[in-house]
Amino acid sequence: MKHGGSGGRSRPTPLLEVRDVTVRFGGVVALDAVSFDVAPGEICGLIGPNGAGKTTLFNCLSRLYAHHTGEIRFDGRALGALPQHRMAGLGIGRTFQNLALFRTLTVRQNIAVGATCRRGTGWLAHTLRLPSVLREEAEQAARVDELIELLQLRDVASVPASELPFGTQKRVELARALAMQPRLLLLDEPACGLNHHEVGELGSLIRTLRERFALTVLLVEHHMGLVMQLSDKLVALNFGRKIAEGTPAEVRRDPELIAAYLGAPAQAEART
């Protein structure tokens, strides 16, 4: 049974609903009427060959890109209707394919930036140092400490991010995203650049984090071993179109997906 399911009878109300989303860059159709749902608590893998549209979809979910048609709903609310500055507090956290850390800030400071994105108190309360502000700051510091422990960053907490190995920087970025207390976590190629041992650890870490923080996860990943063993369901894209959706066992047998990865002639159609 899928995590977050209800005894296999009916699926719960989706946390994320993607409906007929289309994005064009000039003549290139990066996403072509893509639709799928992600249920609360689910780990959904988004797969497809290079240029399939996976990052474009992530960028639409973070409102970095606007979709031309269709609708994206998070917890029942249309994302397009929200001003961009409200996104940070909405409950969608993400990591980036090429890392987006503040390089000169320490590990602790990077993670703390994520925590302050969720600040609920206003500037006047901060100026007056009201008890609510002190309480909030204590809670944020405790969350940063917890994330430093969970992601095994204690020994490097005072080290500038730029001085750390790539795999450690990825854990810092993950911690910063979690500090925002997301309900939906978007992971863009978390296994990229990691060695075999680190990929194994990453799989267990993502599971642990899902349980600990009641997360729903959307995962873009080229590492098929990881995405197949971790995901409750998969959505496969090719040339911007959804070509398959289902459990890993169902999707891995899909002829169109196999052809897309092997580059069969049938898939060589232009997308313009």
Q: Which residues here bind ligand ATP, judged by CB under 6 A? A: 25, 28, 30, 48, 50-56
Nearer to ligand ATP, 54 or 176 (CB): 54
Strand partners, 188: 220
- Tokens 């031309």 correspond to 68
8 A C-beta contact, residue 56 and residue 23: yes
8 A C-beta contact, residue 68 and residue 160: no
Give start and end residues of each alpha helix (H) in the chain.
Answer: 54-61, 107-116, 123-128, 131-150, 166-179, 196-213, 224-230, 248-251, 255-262
- Provide the 8-state DSSP code for 43: E
Nearer to ligand ATP, 118 or 241 (CB): 241
Q: How far is the CB of 95 from ligand ATP (least distance, A)?
A: 14
Q: How far is CA 80 from CA 48, 62, 63, 72, in A?
A: 25, 10, 8, 7
Q: How far is the CB of 272 from ligand ATP (least distance, A)?
A: 10
Nearer to ligand ATP, 58 or 74 (CB): 58
Q: How far is the CB of 258 from ligand ATP (least distance, A)?
A: 17
Q: How far is the CB of 28 from ligand ATP (least distance, A)?
A: 5
Nearer to ligand ATP, 48 or 248 (CB): 48
